[in-house]
Every structure is written in C-alpha cells, then in structure tokens.
C-alpha cells in the first residue's frame, strides 16, 4: 500500500543497472544486467562458464485484474470491440475482470428493451473465463422517465448484475466498488452519508489485510464539488493506504495528479462512442491493475484486439508466404526503353509472368489490402484486429495496428523510393486471379518517365500476391518487381567526358548500407587500344581483408573487404576478363597482365575511387560490361551493388558513345 511506488522501483533498477561494472574481466567482478539477475559463475579468466545452471530467485507473485471501460452510446457498432476485449481477456487470463459501468444504453422507459441490452452484454461477457465483477453506471440505472424516484432499473440492476456498491477481497488486493449515481438523474452528484459510512468500514477492513487497495466507480466523484471529496473521502483513503482510484464516464483516457500517494485514473471506452483520436485520450482499450504480494500496484492500458493467440499465424499459411516469395511468384519479361535516354514520358507495355505455387487461389494486384500511404512517408501495413475486424473505413470493429515493414525495405539509394517514381501505372490495371498451380502472362500499360542518366534506377512495380489464410484473412505478400530496361553503357573517348551510371543493389538485403550508390564512367580510347573504367564509391568506412591472395571463386563472390569486380566480354573468340581488386587489403596486386589499377581516397574519408585501365587484346573490342562494388564495413556481411542486374552473370552492352553495340 504505497510502500514501493512503481516509479521508485524502476528508478532504482535503472540506476543500479547503469552503475554496474562494464567489464568483468577488467573490474574483477561479474556483470549483473540488473539487480534482479543472478550472477553467472566465471572462470579465473573472467569468462562465464558454459553449461552452468543458475537459480532465479522467487519473485513477488503478481495478481492481474482487468477493467472494462464504458460501452454505452456505442450502439451495435461498438459490440465488436467488446467481443475482441473478451477474446483478449481469455488469452491474458487475468484473475478477475471488473467494469467501470455504463454497460448498456439504458435511459429507457421500456423494460423489455433494457433487458435485451443486458442480455446482449452479459452474453458477451459471459464468455469470460475469469471472474466478472460489474460496476453500476448512469446508463445502467437511470430511467427514461426522468424521475429520480423511479428505481425500476436500479432494482433490475441488482437482479441482473449484483449490488450497487460492494467490496471484493482478492488474493493480493482489495477492490471497492462505489455507486456514483445515487441521485438517479436528479442532477445531483452525491456520495450519501450512508454509502460514505459503508466505505469507511470497508476501508478499515481492507487496511487490516495489509494488501493493495483500489476503488472503482463510474463517475469520477473526486471531480464533483458537491461530493466534497477532498475533505470527506481523501482522508479516509490516506488513512487506509489506498493505492488507486479508477473511474470512467468521460470516454477519454486520462491520469489525474496523485494526491498524497493516491493515484487517480479515468479510463476511456470499450465499445463506447468516441469522436477524437487516441492521443486525445479516446480509444477502445482495456485497463489492467497489477498487484504483487509485496504490496505494489501498477495501472496500465492496452488497445483491444491486440492480444494475439499462439496460433495467430500457422505453419500452413507461412509456407504459402514463402512459396510466393522464394522464388518470387512474379517476374518481368521483355525490356523497356532506358529512362535515361528519354526526353519525354513514354507509354509502354509491361509484361509480367505470374504463377501460383500454393494450394489456394491467389490474386496478383498493385492494390494490396491494408497498405497505408501518405505523401512523403514510407508505406505501412495495416493489420486488422482478430477475425478481420478494424480495417480502415470499415464500420467499427476491433482495433488494428500498423507495422512499418516497408520503411525498413525502402532505401532511397538503392531500392523502392526512387524506383517507384520512374514508372506510373494505374493501380487497377493489374488484377489477375490464379488457381493453385496456374501460370500466365499479363500485360498492363504504364507510363515511363525520363530520368537523368547518372541517377536512373531501373523502374519498379510494387506487386502483391494476396491469398486468404486459414482464418479467412486476406494476406498480401509483397513482391517488389524490377522491370528490365534496354541499357547500353556509352563509353566516351576520355574518361572525364563519360556519362555516369549508377551501381545498384538490385535485390533487397537487410544488411545493405544506407550510403549513396557508387557511380561508373567508361571510356574507350579513340584508337580502341585501351578501356578505362572509373568507379566512384561513397563509403565512410574503408575496409581491407587481413591479406591479399590470388582470388579464388569464393573470394571473388564474397570478399572480406571493400572491393571492385570488373567483368568484360570481348567480341570474337577473345576470352573475357574477371578482375577483382581490394584497394585497402595489404599486398593487393591485380595479377592480370595488361591491367593497371589506381586508387584515391578523399580527405574526409567518405569516398574513394578506383580506376582500371585495360589494354585491349589484339584485334578485339569490348562488347559487354558488368561492374560490382562490394562494401564490407568491417562486418561479417559484404554487400554488393552492381551495374547490371544478375550479379556476376549480369551484363549490359558496352559501346563507344554515339554508336550501337
């Protein structure tokens, strides 16, 4: 009973954690993550002993009590929130469930109507596994006759729900329920002397138990001057060591200032009418009160519909997702004009081969269910509440939530954000239904936009394969699809006059860096004797491998260093080149005759350049080129960006500027 305020406990744990030794080897003592974590046994060298068993000390047992906020003025559209709350509570399994009243619309003169509303409410809360304790609200007891003397529904409440005020001795706490509508609609907010006397006795009994105490009521009586809460009630609460007072009625979640150690809370709604956003305190939610055997009490809240069962996603549905992703169920065919060669937008036909590798029907679309977009922001997924409820624009239902998964995928330097702006396509232009195992080619019109040559990303469409899962929910599987372009790398006669080409990450990787793309220029001497490749690499961490050795296939494919790989195909029977350089690896040497590398690093260490000069084989001319830039950043993963898609197998034609390959 206010012996261990939650804030003080949290502060103590944080302070102890921050002051713990940083290094057991250097400090001579084992690190404890916080004071509640047992220390691991360590060997003489300070390292923890593998395979040991530690005993976690017993913690104070927690008793969790749930509270259902107001349901009234929500009418039938609010019932799905109540239903979702019951599902949540049956998963969380608190020790008991209370309300703060206003469980039915009430305010009627029609007894049969009131009974139907009660039947509807109790039918839903009757599915609760935990014990249920109601609190009377004004809608539950006030008659539509407008007569304070009309006790019809107050009496019926006692028949259908229980007493108007009472106490519950829980294992680790005492809950006291007050009746905040004794005036029955006469305009007076009161706490009668009779109920006050009962409260004083209930508080004495609760204090004798030496366990946390909290009060529940519908109207926040402490806000009404007519109650004189500060002089009549607050002293009783402080004497008994009451921890919290919780009310509803205002349909807006809020926390009033504590008064001498007593917390004051007003909860929002669970199916009741709201007209403002959550940050205005208006949301459909559950409230929880946690009490421990050590006398601690903590109040917290959670939107309804967000407790997920253990089978929220089952293996069969996850297998379908992976079948659609690996390899992707959508691939583009044909080649579009290079946007870097356009001077005005051009209408093109995009061809996609779509297939269904799953055992259920799918729909291929550009308009997925549940994707939220806003100007200047990365798209976010909207996940409806359980059972498909809560979709934006739908009439009510359990709350859903957003996940910014696409914000992680988007990389302004490599993938989606820029590529989406290269091609415009009517979202309704693609809607292909495929039966299990089916495959077909679809064509859709698009508008290709001109782009600066050095800043061109290959156009991308955000395609989605949507299937209905085992719980009847639409599941969109994101399949970003690059559209092939017909690009020729134009080589100038002098390297500084060459057009820049971006070197890109063609496939998503969670490890790809957020640095700008490398750029490449190419030049072929006027007499055709020399090919020059110049690569400029933004990189704030130059990394070399421990030592240079002649590159084998493993090193070429996954160097443990920053690297540039150049692959050149020649006309005729001349063999191609496959050169790897690691400019920051000690002892690096090209290892190829007729090739020369030069390197430079800028003064502030944020960029480096690599230039390769290749003497052409006699009578040969280069016809295709691929260049890869590997970025290691002293990590396990080395990330590649490539001039053309396809990795080491990819190529784009190479020609002298102004000519065709």
Q: Which residues pair with 354 in a beta bridge?
A: 330, 440
85 found inside a domain? yes
In total, the chain counts a number of residues equal to: 661
- Kindly give the residue spans of alpha helices, DSSP state H, lying in 338-422: 405-409, 416-419
Give Rg (Cα) of the chain: 35
Cβ atoms of residues 425 and 515 within 8 Å:
no
Nearest alpha-carbon partner for 524 in 563, 488, 564: 488
Domain that includes residue 387, residue range: 325-486
Same domain, 284 and 177: yes
**Residue whose token pair is 């269910």:** 369
Same domain, 191 and 97: yes
- Across the chain, mean pLDDT equals 88
Same domain, 638 and 621: yes
**Residue whose token pair is 């006692």:** 158
Same domain, 584 and 505: yes
313 found inside a domain? no
Decide: residue 614, CB within 10 A, 0-12 exposed, 13-18 middle, 19+ buried: buried
**Rounded-to-integer distance, Cα 317 and Cα 322, Å:** 9
pTM for the model stands at: 0.83
- With residue 137 as reference, give the H or E element that holds it: none
Q: How many CB atoms lie within 10 A of CB 476?
A: 18
Cβ atoms of residues 21 and 27 within 8 Å:
yes
Q: Which DSSP category does 385 fall into?
A: B
Cβ atoms of residues 268 and 251 within 8 Å:
yes
Our CA dihedral for 178, 179, 183, 189, rounded to 10 degrees, sits at 40
The whole-number pLDDT of residue 438 equals: 98
Same domain, 292 and 404: no
377 found inside a domain? yes
Domain end among 303, 333, 354: 303
**Rounded-to-integer distance, Cα 575 and Cα 553, Å:** 17
How many Cα atoms occupy the beta-carbon half-sphere of 635 within 13 Å?
A: 11
Distance of CA 604 to the CA centre of its chain: 36
Peptide bond into 327 cis (omega under 30): yes
**Rounded-to-integer distance, Cα 620 and Cα 617, Å:** 5
Structure tokens at 292: 């421990």
Our CA dihedral for 554, 556, 557, 562, rounded to 10 degrees, sits at 120
Query: The domain spanning residue 542 has which CATH number?
Result: 2.60.40.1190
Same domain, 272 and 139: yes
Structure tokens at 48: 């923890």
Residues 6+ apart with CB under 8 A from 126: none
- The total number of structural domains in the chain stands at 4
562 found inside a domain? yes
The whole-number pLDDT of residue 32 equals: 65
Query: Hey, is 239 helix, strand or coil?
Result: helix
Same domain, 367 and 408: yes
| Residue range 471-507, pLDDT digits in tens | 888 899 999 888 988 999 999 999 999 989 999 888 8
**Rounded-to-integer distance, Cα 207 and Cα 205, Å:** 6
Same domain, 431 and 502: no
Domain end among 460, 486, 512: 486
Nearest alpha-carbon partner for 85 in 279, 302, 281: 302
Domain end among 456, 486, 516: 486
State the distance between the two ends of the chain, measured CA to CA, in whole angstroms: 84
Question: Which regions in the chain score pLDDT beneath 50?
Answer: 1-28, 387-388, 393, 395-397
Burial code of 359-383, b = ≥16 C-beta within 10 A, e = fewer?
A: eeebbbbbbbbbeeeeeeebbbbbb
**Rounded-to-integer distance, Cα 492 and Cα 257, Å:** 73
| Residue range 96-136, pLDDT digits in tens | 999 999 999 999 999 999 999 999 999 999 999 999 999 99
Same domain, 264 and 133: yes
Query: The domain spanning residue 189 has which CATH number?
Result: 3.60.21.10
Same domain, 280 and 263: yes
**Rounded-to-integer distance, Cα 178 and Cα 199, Å:** 8
The whole-number pLDDT of residue 408 equals: 67
420 found inside a domain? yes
Please report, rounded to a whole number, the percentage of residues in the chain having pLDDT higher than 70. 89
The whole-number pLDDT of residue 387 equals: 46
- Kindly give the residue spans of alpha helices, DSSP state H, lying in 522-641: 553-557
315 found inside a domain? no
β-strands 423-424, 346-355 pairing: unpaired
Angle between helix 79-92 and 111-125 (nearest 10): 30
The whole-number pLDDT of residue 5 equals: 35
Cβ atoms of residues 77 and 108 within 8 Å:
no
Same domain, 457 and 533: no
**Rounded-to-integer distance, Cα 558 and Cα 551, Å:** 10
Same domain, 347 and 382: yes
**Rounded-to-integer distance, Cα 659 and Cα 586, Å:** 41
319 found inside a domain? no
Q: Cα angle vertex 11, ends 10, 17, to 5°? A: 90
Structure tokens at 446: 């698009």
């Amino acid at each position: 009973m206010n012996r261990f305020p939650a804030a003080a406990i949290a502060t103590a744990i944080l302070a102890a954690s921050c002051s713990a030794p940083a290094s057991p080897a250097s400090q001579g003592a084992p690190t404890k993550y916080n004071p509640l974590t047992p220390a691991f046994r360590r060997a003489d060298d300070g390292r923890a002993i593998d395979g040991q068993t530690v005993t976690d000390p017993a913690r104070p047992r927690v008793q969790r009590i749930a509270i259902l906020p107001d349901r009234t003025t929500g009418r039938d559209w609010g019932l799905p929130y109540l239903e979702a709350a019951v599902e949540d509570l049956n998963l969380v399994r608190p020790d008991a469930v209370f309300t703060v009243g206003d469980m039915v619309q009430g305010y009627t003169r029609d007894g049969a109507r009131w009974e139907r509303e009660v039947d509807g409410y109790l039918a839903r809360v009757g599915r609760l596994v935990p014990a249920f304790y109601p609190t009377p609200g004004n809608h539950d007891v006030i008659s539509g006759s407008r007569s304070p003397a009309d006790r019809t529904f107050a009496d019926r409440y006692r028949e259908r729900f229980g007493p108007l005020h009472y106490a519950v001795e829980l294992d680790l706490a005492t809950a006291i329920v007050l009746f905040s509508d004794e005036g029955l609609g006469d305009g007076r907010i009161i706490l009668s002397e009779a109920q006050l006397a009962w409260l004083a006795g209930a508080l004495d009994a609760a204090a004798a138990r030496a366990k946390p105490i909290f009060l529940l009521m519908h109207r926040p009586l402490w806000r009404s001057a007519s109650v004189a809460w500060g002089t009549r009630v607050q002293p009783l609460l402080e004497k008994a060591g009451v921890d919290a007072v919780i009310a509803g009625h205002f349909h807006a979640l809020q926390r009033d200032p504590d008064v001498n150690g007593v917390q004051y809370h007003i909860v929002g709604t669970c199916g009741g009418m709201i007209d403002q956003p959550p940050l205005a305190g208006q949301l459909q939610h559950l409230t929880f009160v946690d009490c421990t055997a050590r006398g601690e009490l903590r109040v917290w809240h959670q939107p309804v519909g967000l407790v997920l069962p253990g089978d929220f996603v089952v293996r069969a549905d996850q297998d379908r997702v992976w079948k659609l992703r690996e390899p992707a169920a959508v691939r583009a065919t044909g080649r579009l004009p290079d946007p870097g060669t356009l001077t005005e937008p051009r209408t093109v036909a995009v061809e996609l081969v779509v297939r269904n590798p799953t055992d259920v029907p799918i729909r291929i679309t550009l308009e997925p269910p549940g994707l939220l977009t806003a100007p200047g922001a990365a798209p976010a997924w909207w996940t409806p509440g359980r059972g498909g409820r809560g979709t934006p624009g739908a009439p009510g239902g359990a709350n859903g939530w957003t996940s910014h998964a696409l914000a992680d995928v988007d990389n302004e330097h490599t993938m989606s954000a820029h590529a989406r702006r290269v091609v415009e396509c009517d979202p309704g232009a693609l809607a292909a239904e495929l039966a299990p195992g089916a495959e077909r080619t679809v064509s859709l019109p698009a508008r290709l936009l001109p782009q600066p040559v050095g800043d061109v990303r290959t156009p991308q469409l955000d395609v989605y394969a949507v299937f209905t899962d085992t719980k009847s929910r639409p599941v969109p599987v994101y399949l970003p699809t690059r559209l092939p372009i017909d690009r020729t790398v134009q080589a100038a006669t002098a390297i500084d006059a060459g057009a820049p080409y971006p070197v890109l990450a063609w496939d998503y990787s969670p490890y790809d860096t957020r640095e700008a793309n490398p750029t490449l220029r190419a030049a072929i001497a006027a007499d055709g004797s020399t090919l020059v490749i110049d690569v400029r690499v933004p990189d704030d961490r130059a990394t070399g491998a421990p030592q240079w050795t002649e590159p084998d296939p493993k090193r070429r494919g996954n160097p443990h260093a920053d690297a540039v790989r150049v692959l050149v195909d020649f006309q005729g029977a001349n063999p191609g080149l496959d050169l790897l350089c690691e400019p920051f690896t000690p002892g690096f040497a090209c290892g190829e005759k007729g090739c020369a590398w030069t390197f430079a690093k800028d003064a502030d260490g944020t960029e480096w350049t690599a230039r390769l000069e290749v003497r052409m084989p006699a009578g040969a001319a280069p016809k295709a080129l691929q260049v890869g830039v590997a970025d290691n950043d002293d990590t396990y993963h080395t990330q590649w960006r490539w001039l053309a898609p396809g990795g080491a197998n990819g190529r784009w034609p190479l020609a002298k500027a102004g000519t065709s390959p």
